[in-house]
Amino acid sequence: MKKVRIGIVGMGNMGRFHAQDLLDGKVDGGELVAVASTSPEKLKEYGEQGLKVFDGGEEMIQSGEIDAIVIATPHYQHVSLGMQALDAGLHLMVEKPIAAHKADAERLIAKAKEKEDLVFAGMFQLRVEPRYRKIKELVEAGELGQLMRVVWIMTDWFRSDAYYQSGGWRATWKGEGGGVLLNQCLHQLDAMQWMVGMPSKVNSQVGIGKWHDIEVEDDVSCYMEFPHGASGLFLTSTGETPGSNRLEISGTKGRLLLENDRLVFTRNAVPSDEWCKTSKIGFKQPETTVEELDIPGAEAPHSILMTNFTNAILKGEDLIAPGEEGLGSVELANAMLFSGLLEGPLELPMDGVAWEDKLNELIAGSTHEKKVVELSGDDFSASFRR
Ligand SMILES: NC(=O)c1ccc[n+]([C@@H]2O[C@H](COP(=O)([O-])OP(=O)(O)OC[C@H]3O[C@@H](n4cnc5c(N)ncnc54)[C@H](O)[C@@H]3O)[C@@H](O)[C@H]2O)c1
């Protein structure tokens, strides 16, 4: 195989974005040959460029026209279409989240394990961002010492009512399975567990439709405990302006602060635990040195991951974001929400089946009337946050 023949299913915001990257030649080793959507009449422009246009993912999967599929549909279909694609012998790149809930994610992962010769990747583009890669490297090298606190204020995910009305699936239990945690924050939840590991306990307060006319969460304050002894907070909202994106990771040897694309490492001259035990005076802190790490962001993170996907197929390159690693962020999104609904702490690993049951209860009990209005005039790519 010289080039991987790629088909994209789900040609909304994200599907079109990936299609453009492929058509612009940004993905070495990948060639877009087909697109599929439940509204194929909106895909004429692709047909005019010589691509095959399918009415749905199933038809494209069975067509024999593609070697790999990119799934950019609403979340629930990531698993149903993903499993069909693997069964048909296709390599799979699935948009985030890999599933709407943990039990479903495990089904997809189990199917991928049966098909070990196929590449299964997830679209977690923060993993290619150099600043997050640097944080992970510093944490893993022990440069922060014993981790003490992880605080992420991620309230910079503002969405208007018009955004929520732009798709029938958005912000519904049935169409999406959650709100800000599963959709917008999935990136931060993936990056957090990739950099510092999974918490062992979460305890949340969640606001359901607190700032919007929606039936899922749009405001979350979550306290976390990690097995390595650190505690932390994860705060998010789609209602706040101006929001913040501030990540602070503290350890005995210092503190990393990432805010407004600036990464600053403040190192303690003496680790805080040692200073605490040896200092003969009560208030003074150890001396510090402040290092500004001047690291530019990635130019085109999605196409870097897509190129990695085709390289994994063609050359056996290691995946930057293996699909099965998408389980952590789904579990965090589910657990933080479930804890809020239960109004109490939840231990991790969580019971995925219990959450699936709860979700089905929420779907069955939904009385919310969803208004759908087509959105126009937005620059979708401006919605990406780092
Ligand atoms: N990685 C990122 O930066 C990023 C950014 C935005 C969205 N996403 C993810 O991409 C996915 C899609 O989000 P979006 O904003 O593009 O949504 P969207 O509503 O703009 O597009 C979804 C498209 O899927 C189509 N569709 C729905 N069900 C389908 C089915 N069964 N078969 C084929 N097509 C179907 C719809 O007609 C629509 O065109 C979501 O899972 C979202 O989390 C990822």
What pLDDT, on a 0 to 100 scale, did the predictor assign at position 384? Answer: 66
Task: Tell me the CA–centroid distance for residue 377 and ligand 1, in Å.
Answer: 18
* Cβ of residue 159 lying under 6 Å from some atom of ligand 1: no
350 token code pair: 């969580």
Tell the residue number behind the tokens 């991790």, with chain if given. Answer: 348
* Cβ of residue 115 lying under 6 Å from some atom of ligand 1: no
Domain with CATH 3.30.360.10 in the chain: 127-298+329-383
Task: Tell me the CA–centroid distance for residue 132 and ligand 1, in Å.
Answer: 25
What pLDDT, on a 0 to 100 scale, did the predictor assign at position 383? Answer: 72
Where does residue 295 rank: exposed (0-12), middle (13-18), buried (19+ CB within 10 A)?
middle
* Cβ of residue 11 lying under 6 Å from some atom of ligand 1: yes
List the one residue out of 248, 247, 250, 249 whose CA is nearest residue 273: 250
Task: Tell me the CA–centroid distance for residue 9 and ligand 1, in Å.
Answer: 8
List the one residue out of 12, 159, 156 whose CA is nearest residue 71: 12
Superfamily of domain 4-125+300-321: NAD(P)-binding Rossmann-like Domain (3.40.50.720)
What pLDDT, on a 0 to 100 scale, did the predictor assign at position 380? Answer: 74
pLDDT tens, 69-114?
A: 999 999 999 999 999 999 999 999 999 999 999 999 999 999 999 9
Task: Tell me the CA–centroid distance for residue 15 and ligand 1, in Å.
Answer: 7
Domain with CATH 3.40.50.720 in the chain: 4-125+300-321
What pLDDT, on a 0 to 100 scale, did the predictor assign at position 373? Answer: 85
* Cβ of residue 72 lying under 6 Å from some atom of ligand 1: yes
The number of the ligand 1 atom at minimal distance from the alpha carbon of 39 is 37
Instruction: Report yes or no on whether pTM surpasses 0.95.
Output: yes
301 upstream amide cis, omega within 30 of 0: no
Where does residue 100 rank: exposed (0-12), middle (13-18), buried (19+ CB within 10 A)?
buried
What pLDDT, on a 0 to 100 scale, did the predictor assign at position 374? Answer: 78
* Cβ of residue 188 lying under 6 Å from some atom of ligand 1: no
Superfamily of domain 127-298+329-383: Dihydrodipicolinate Reductase; domain 2 (3.30.360.10)
> What letter does residue 200 receive in the DSSP assignment?
S
Which residues of the chain are modeled with pLDDT < 70?
377, 384-386
pLDDT tens, 291-323?
A: 999 999 999 999 999 999 999 999 999 999 999
The number of the ligand 1 atom at minimal distance from the alpha carbon of 14 is 16
Task: Tell me the CA–centroid distance for residue 234 and ligand 1, in Å.
Answer: 26
pLDDT tens, 152-164?
A: 999 999 999 999 9
